[in-house]
Amino acid sequence: MNVLELRDVVKRFGPLTAVNGVSLSVQKGSIISLLGPSGCGKTTLLRIIAGFEHPDEGLVFLGSKNVNGKRPYERNVGLLFQDYALFPHMTVGKNVAYGLHQRGFREPQVKKRTDEMLDLVGMREFANRRPQTLSGGQRQRVALGRALASNPELILLDEPLSALDAKLRLELRTELKRILVTAGSTAVIVTHDQEEAMTFGERVIVMEKGQIRQEGSPTQIYDDPKTRFVAEFIGRSNWFCGTLGQKIGEFREFLCSQMKTTLIREPDQVNHKMYDVCIRPERILTRGSKSKDLNDGDEPLNTINGTIKDVIYLGSDFELIIALDGAAEMTAIEKNRRQSIPNRGEAVTIAFRPSDMIVIGRD
Amino acid sequence: MARVLDDILFVALLVLVAVIAAFLIFPLIVAVLMAFDARTYLGTFPPHGFSFQWFYRFFNDEMYMRGLKTSLLVATISTFASAIIGVTAAIALVHTRSRARQALEAIFLSPLIVPTVVIGFALLLFFSRIGLFIGFTRLLCGHIIITVPYTIRVTLAGLVGIPKSISEAALSLGASDWRAFWTVTLPLARTNIFAGTIFAFVFSMDDVSVSLFLSSVDTYTLPVAMVGMMQSQFDLSIAAAAVFLMVVMTTLMLAIDKIFGVNKILVGK
Amino acid sequence: MTRILREKSQRLLLLLPPLVVFSVLLILPLGNVVDQSFRVFEGGSIGAAADAHLTLLNYSELIRPTYLFYFIQTFRIGFVGSVLAVTLAFPIAYLIARMRSQFWRGIASGALIALISVSTLVRVYALLLAFGPVGYGNQLSAILGLGQNSAAYTEMVVLAGLVYFHTPISALVLIGTIQGLNSELIEAAQSLGASRWKSHLSITIPLCLPGISAAFLISFTVCVSAFVIPLILGKGKVLFVSNLIYNRFSEVANYPSGSAISVVLLSITLFFVVIVPWLFTRLTAASSG
């Protein structure tokens, strides 16, 4: 059952088109991430779903009802604001109870439900405190509890972790997901942080310039991006540009001026003039000559010789910048397992699998 | 060498400020002390002895007390009216497009610019023309128009200062626009409205320029009575009246400053 | 803010009470004053008769030396008063703004606010006592070589009154200005070799100039329209423009003339409060554009 459906939604602000024909649907019980850089229209989309903006074109359905033109309080959509928006003149308990009162719940039920919510988010002992006395993480939990209290069909989270410092972010990431899953909520999370998107979302929708560029599971988005934008927005990449050569078995030759000819997966379309090929840094193995480690399948490995240009120690990772014979530079990342890392200036051979290479045709 | 000059100049600055501070405080000390003077005639400063005689005279004088009663009544009623008009206007202003809003704000805040003498004179003339001769009503009207800009400005600042996300949160939780305003926005603006009201009260109690024009033989405010005394019969009961006014008003203003911050009202942020 | 007034008609309805109040209590009366200022004066009635002739006499007689004298006096004393007030306010504001302890700053600001909140009338009366025979009037006037009841001494007392009234307010305004300055600029100047007083002379004061001029402008405008201070302290010997208006009412009952003076005073005030700042921003925008 679709909890939310958008059909060709368009929203303009003067000469600027913030949302340019977006269609999507969200099933009951699923958690979706809406991911994109600032200005891509994701926040506008959120506000349209919540009812604070109205689309210029297109339709918004909540459940099976068309809600175009309905005010926010006429929809049953919960909202977690970026700055939490807790009412400063009410206690935590009253904040959580507010929506229940507004939607017509009576007293004994209100108390029961409020307590349930506070337990769910772990803030029961703070019920009589004011929001100003709470920390950022605590405030966020109260805000979530408040939004979930009246059991909305859909809950929208606007950049839920952006206001927190790195450590808190990690803690709360799992906590928030637990709460959402326990409550069985259908949720849409808007964020510009790919880690956040991948953590929360069973499905990730990537947006750019008011349009959806790709939708899929985190794995699909990461390993199989359909456009250069999506590939670059998520994770790190090494890019090469070239043309296709002959077909060799199930693979294809990739001819590039910046490195020797390599083998790539057969792309979906072979009629593009040029191709952008991307290799994620963590899929590159760097060893003196131990190329055997990578070969756990029947795939032939691509191997290229090069020299270490720089080694950057990042604590949990090593970042290796390698100058390939043939002019190009590549960045590889290895986990720090106290292995011996080649030094600057040393000659190395790098290896990577054809199936790890992301191929995107250029128009 | 520059170092020494620096230090000398700094000391000079401190001395200068001390002198200015003394200048500012001294006359008040004179007035306060003289109010307790035990002499029955108007002697020179410093006072001799300690007595409450002038205060007895003040509180027993029919003219002063009449003025005080009128002042308090006028201040209370006009402040109340001013608060209502102010909140109403502020709410309306928040909903208006910025073009019209600037024009409206200019009108609503204009009594701050127009010299109070001109306001007093204009009202007197106008009331005579339309036949309004009741002293109390005239005073009330005058005090309302000079206090309303403060209630509007302070309430407006309060309403504008509430983050949009808070009212949107109320809406998303099921409150209709009106209920969201009533249960969330207005309570948060409460401090502002309260501070603005008290300031209006103080301002009304203090007014001389408008009241002089609009008072009549039987209806006058305390400041008007005091001005009359200052120009005719010059005794220290005026000092007692002054001390009384001072205590009342300073207490109220310091109360506002504690709760709210008078700087915002005066400087208009 | 939630838009509770979604309909235009609702908004207009809510604006009605304030607009009515302002029309009846401000706009109409002021309009009436303007109208009256052009009417011929006929003794015996409050305001000229509704059908009295139109005339420019009320304005033209203001140019006569006797009236011009009062205008000039108002401007002269007002100008000196505001200059002095701002000059004295600046050191106070400077010291307070640069106090390290939040606590003492609060006390000092609180003292200024307490000073301002003491009723205007009370402060004027305090000055009357302090500068009169009860206080040190005798001694002061002797030192200055002026008769205590002379116009010259009275003028000084009025001037003192204006300064007394405006210094605390200007100080409060200037505290805000000085606090708005980036303290790193002074530190930069000092690290480049300027001594403390030199760095303030070349950095602080020029940067505070907009704030100082704003404070001066406000102070000047209020000084020019001062009423209570010259009324009480002027003792009839020193008259400001606003006192003239009052006299028209209380002594001569020449309301058309009073109206004319009111219109002039209002125009002057509007000029300094609206036109001058606007001109100023235009000029600075042009020079920095």
Instruction: Note whether residue B244 is domain-resident.
Output: yes
Select the CATH number that applies to the domain covering C74-238 from these four: 3.40.50.11030, 3.10.20.30, 3.40.720.10, 1.10.3720.10.
Answer: 1.10.3720.10
Average pLDDT, chain B: 86
Taking only the tens place, the pLDDT of each residue in C179-235 is 887 777 777 777 777 777 777 777 788 888 888 888 898 899 889 988 999 998 888
pLDDT of residue B30: 86
Specify burial of residue A1 (Cβ count, 10 A radius: 0-12, 13-18, 19+).
exposed
C2 band by pLDDT with thresholds 50, 70 and 90: low
Q: Is B135 part of a structural domain of the chain?
A: yes
Question: What's the rounded mean pLDDT across residues B109-128?
Answer: 90
The alpha-carbon gap from B120 to the nearest alpha carbon of chain A, in Å, equals 41
Chain B hits for C269, CB-CB cut-off 8 Å, are: 113-115
Domain range summary for chain C, segments of one domain joined by + = 74-238
Check residue A117 and give its pLDDT.
93
- The tokens for C28 are 């109409």
Residue B181 lies in a domain: yes
Å between A186 CA and nearest CA of chain B: 16
Highest mean pLDDT range out of A288-292, B83-87, C179-183? B83-87
The whole-number average pLDDT for the span C84-105 is: 86
Residue B268 has pLDDT above 50, yes or no: no
Q: Is B231 on the interface with A (CB under 8 A)?
A: no
CA distance B102 to B108: 10
A248 and A209 in a common domain: no
C223 Cβ contact list (under 8 Å, min separation 6) = C77, C78, C79, C81, C82, C162, C166
We report the CATH number of the domain holding residue A281 as 2.40.50.140
Q: How many domains does chain A have?
A: 2
DSSP letter assigned to residue C52: P
Q: Are residues A206 and A337 in the same domain?
A: no
Partner-chain contact B173 A81, CB within 8 Å: no
Residue in this structure with the two tokens 């990537």, named with its chain if needed: A206
Enclosing domain of residue A324: 238-362
Amino acid A214: pLDDT: 93
Domain boundary among A215, A233, A251: A233
> Does any domain span residue B38?
no
C172 against B44, higher pLDDT: C172
Of A72, A77, A89, the CB nearest to B187: A89
Kindly determine whether residue A103 and residue B168, on different chains, have CB atoms separated by under 8 Å: no
Q: Which residue of C has its CA nearest to B118?
A: C262
- Say which residues have a Cβ less than 8 Å from residue A305's Cβ, sequence separation at least 6: A324, A325, A347, A348, A349, A350
Closest residue on chain C to B87 (Cα): C18
Question: Which pLDDT belongs to residue B258?
Answer: 74
Residues of A within 8 A of B172 (CB-CB) are 50-51, 72-73, 77-79, 147
Question: What three-state secondary structure class fits C81?
Answer: helix
Mean pLDDT of A79-96: 90
Our CA-based measurement puts residue A12 at a distance from the nearest CA of chain B, in whole angstroms, of 20
The model's pLDDT over C160-176, given as tens digits with 9 standing for 90+, comes to 999 999 999 899 888 88
pLDDT beyond 80 at B257: no
Tell me: do A308 and A220 sit in the same domain. Answer: no
- When mean pLDDT is compared across B2-16, B217-231, C177-191, the lowest value belongs to C177-191
Q: B169: nearest CA in chain A?
A: A85
Q: Is residue B34 part of a domain?
A: no
CA distance B164 to chain A (A): 9
> What residues in A contact B168, CB-CB < 8 Å?
50, 52, 72, 79, 81, 85
Same-domain status, A193 and A227: yes
- B161 vs A: CB within 8 A: no
C207 CA: distance to closest CA in chain B (Å): 20
Q: How much is the average pLDDT of A132-155?
A: 91
Has residue B9 been placed in a domain?
A: no
pLDDT in tens, B92-108: 888 777 788 888 888 89
pLDDT for position B238: 87
pLDDT at residue B141, rounded to an integer: 93
Most confident listed range (A351-360, B67-76, C68-77):
B67-76
Residues A79, A167, single domain; the answer is yes
C152 pLDDT above the threshold of 90: no
Domain boundary among A188, A218, A233: A233
Q: A132 with A260, same domain? A: no
Regarding predicted confidence, which is higher, C49 or B208?
A: B208
B193: Cα separation from own chain's centroid: 15
Inside any domain, residue B21: no
Option in B165, B168, B173 nearest A98 (CB): B173
pLDDT for the residue C247: 85
Say what the pLDDT of residue A246 is: 85
Of all residues in chain C, the one with the smallest CA distance to B5 is C197
pLDDT at A119 over 90: yes
Instruction: With respect to residue B11, please indicate whether it lies within any of the assigned structural domains.
Output: no
Residue range B239-265: average pLDDT?
A: 78
Domain final residue, candidates A178, A199, A233: A233
CB contact under 8 A, B188 and A99: no
The share of chain B scoring above pLDDT 90, in percent, equals: 25
Q: What pLDDT band is residue C131 in, cutting at 50, 70 and 90? A: confident
User: pLDDT band at A33, cuts 50/70/90?
Assistant: very high
Q: What is the mean predicted confidence (pLDDT) over B160-173?
A: 89
> Which residue of chain B has the CA closest to C175?
B263
Q: How confident is the model at residue B72 (pLDDT cuts 50, 70, 90)?
A: very high
* Share of residues in chain C with pLDDT > 90 (%): 14
Q: How many CB atoms lie within 10 A of CB B94?
A: 20
**pTM beyond 0.80:** no
Residues A154 and A278 placed together within one structural domain of the fold: no
Mean pLDDT confidence for B38-49: 79
Q: What was the pLDDT predicted at A212?
A: 94
Looking at chain C, how many residues does it have? 289
In CATH, what number is assigned to the domain containing residue B241? 1.10.3720.10
pLDDT of A290 over the 70 cut: no
Give the number of domains in chain B.
1
3-state secondary structure of C287: helix
Cβ-based neighbour number of residue A109 at 10 Å: 10
Closest-CA residue in chain C for B8?
C197
Nearest CA in chain B to C88: B20
**Residues sharing a CB contact under 8 Å with residue A123, sequence separation 6 or more, in sequence order:** A92, A138, A141, A142, A145
The complex scores an ipTM of 0.84
CB B10 within 8 A of CB C196: yes
Q: Does B188 touch chain A (CB under 8 A)?
A: yes
Least CB-CB distance to C273: which of B3, B113, B226? Answer: B113
How many beta-carbon pairs below 8 A join chains B and C? 274
- Cross-chain residue pair C26–B162, CB shorter than 8 Å: no
Our CA-based measurement puts residue B116 at a distance from the nearest CA of chain A, in whole angstroms, of 39
Mean pLDDT over all residues of chain A? 87
Q: Which domain holds residue B208?
A: 53-267
Picking from B16, B114, B249, the nearest residue to C119 by CB comes out as B249
**What's the distance, Cα to Cα, between the start and end of chain B in Å?**
43
Q: Determine, for residues C128 and B230 on separate chains, whether the beta-carbon distance falls below 8 Å.
A: yes
For an interface test with B, the pick among A73, A130, A153, A155 (most B C-beta atoms closer than 10 Å) comes out as: A73
pLDDT of A289: 44
Place of tokens 């300690």: B50
Work out the average pLDDT over A289-308: 69
- Check whether residue A299 and residue A321 sit in a common domain: yes
Whether A163 and A259 map to the same domain: the answer is: no
Cβ distance of B122 and C262 shorter than 8 Å: yes
If asked whether residues A197 and A254 sit together in one domain, one would say no
How far away is chain A from the Cα of B264, in angstroms, using its nearest Cα?
21
Q: Which of A22-31, B227-236, C150-159 has the highest mean pLDDT?
A: A22-31
